[in-house]
C-alpha cells in the first residue's frame, strides 16, 4: 500500500459498509452508530444511574420504537438484570435473573441526557430465559414497553 494511502487510512474514522435493498452502499462511522436522533449515547453512560444498569456502550441498534395509539413516542432499550453482584461489584451471572428489566426511554425530540427516562419493570424471572437457554427478548422488550407506557400515562394525568 502506498505510504500516502496508508496515512489516509490511519486518519479516517472507522467505517462500516452496509447494503440496503437497492444495493446502494452506505458508509457509516462509529459516531453515527452511537447517536440516536441527534442524542449522543455516550453522554448517557456518564449518568451514574444509567451506567449502573447499562454498563456496555449503547448503540443505535439497541433501541426499539415505542408507539402509543399508533404514533411514535420515542425509542427504548432494555436489558434483564441478574439477581446480585459479586463482592467486586461485577455482575454475578451464576445468580440467575431477578426478573427486573432496566429500560431507557428516549422521547422524540430528546436533545440532552436529562430528557431520557430510566425505569425498572418486573416480569416473572422464569420467563426471561427460553427452554433453549437463550434470552426471551420478545417478553423482555414487552415488559419494558409496558413499564414505559404506564410511566407515560401517569405523567400525562
pLDDT of 21-49, one tens digit each? 444 444 444 445 778 888 899 999 899 99
Per-residue pLDDT, 9? 43
66 within domain boundaries: yes
Assess if residue 74 is contained within a domain.
Answer: yes
Range of the domain at 82: 25-155
Residue 85 domain-assigned (yes or no): yes
Average pLDDT over residues 4-22: 43
Task: For residue 92, count other CB atoms closer than 10 A to its CB.
Answer: 13
Query: Is 16 a member of any domain?
Result: no
Instruction: Flag whether 10 is in a domain.
Output: no
What residues have CB less than 8 Å from 37, skipping those under 6 apart?
Answer: 75, 106, 108, 109, 110
In Å, the largest CA–CA distance within the chain is 65
For the stretch 64-116, pLDDT in tens is 999 988 899 999 999 999 998 888 888 888 889 999 999 999 999 898 999 99
- Which has the higher per-residue pLDDT, 112 or 3? 112
The residue that leads in pLDDT, 79 or 12, is 79
Asked if residue 105 belongs to a domain, the reply is yes
What's the pLDDT at 12? Answer: 43
Contact call for residues 33 and 60 (beta carbons, < 8 A): yes
Does residue 93 lie within any of the structural domains? yes
Provide the 8-state DSSP code for 132: T
Beta strands in the chain (DSSP E): 15-19, 25-29, 35-36, 39-40, 64-68, 71-82, 97-107, 117-122
User: How many folded domains does the chain comprise?
Assistant: 1
| pLDDT surpasses 60 at 15 | no
74: nearest Cα among 121, 25, 110: 110
Q: pTM for the whole thing?
A: 0.75
pLDDT of res. 1: 43
- Judged against a pLDDT cut of 80, whether residue 10 lies above it is answered with no
* pLDDT at res. 140: 98
Residue 91 maps to a domain: yes
Nine-digit cell string for 82: 441478574
Amino acid at each position: 500500500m502506498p505510504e500516502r494511502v496508508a496515512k489516509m487510512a490511519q486518519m479516517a474514522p472507522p467505517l462500516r459498509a452496509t447494503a440496503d435493498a437497492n444495493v446502494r452502499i452506505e458508509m457509516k462511522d462509529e459516531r453515527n452508530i452511537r447517536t440516536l436522533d441527534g442524542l449522543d449515547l455516550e453522554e448517557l453512560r456518564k449518568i451514574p444511574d444509567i451506567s449502573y444498569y447499562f454498563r456496555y456502550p449503547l448503540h443505535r441498534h439497541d433501541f426499539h420504537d415505542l408507539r402509543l395509539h399508533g404514533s411514535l413516542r420515542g425509542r427504548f432499550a432494555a436489558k434483564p438484570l441478574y439477581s446480585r453482584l459479586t463482592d467486586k461489584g461485577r455482575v454475578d451471572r451464576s445468580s440467575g435473573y431477578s426478573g427486573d428489566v432496566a429500560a431507557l426511554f428516549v422521547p422524540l425530540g430528546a436533545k440532552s441526557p436529562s430528557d431520557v427516562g430510566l425505569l425498572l419493570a418486573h416480569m416473572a424471572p422464569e420467563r426471561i430465559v427460553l427452554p433453549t437457554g437463550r434470552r426471551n427478548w420478545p417478553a423482555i422488550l414487552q415488559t419494558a414497553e409496558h413499564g414505559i407506557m404506564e410511566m407515560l400515562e401517569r405523567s400525562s394525568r
